[in-house]
Amino acid sequence: INMGCPAKKVCKKAAGSALMKDENLVARILAAVVKASSVPVTLKTRTGWSPEYRNAP
């Protein structure tokens, strides 16, 4: 799962690094993907979603 993409067109759709702003949504996505997958699931992140917010919550 890619939560590292900083592209504005991606983040405007609450995807990519913008996902770090919604912990509940990420938890639901992870649970669904892990449940549906028979292989390990990985998550790619950035240090934050903007220079002002370098650390995810």
Domain residue extents for the chain: 2-45
The C-alpha R_g of the chain, in whole angstroms, comes to: 12
- The answer to which of 4-8, 18-22, 38-42, 52-56 has the lowest mean pLDDT is 52-56
Dump pLDDT digits (tens) for 1-16: 888 888 889 889 988 8
pTM of the model: 0.72
- DSSP code at position 45: E
Between CA 18 and CA 11 the distance in angstroms is 5
The set of catalytic residues is 5
* Helix locations, 1-57, DSSP H: 8-11, 23-36
Q: What share of the chain is helix, strand, coil (3-state, %, to 5)?
A: 40, 10, 45
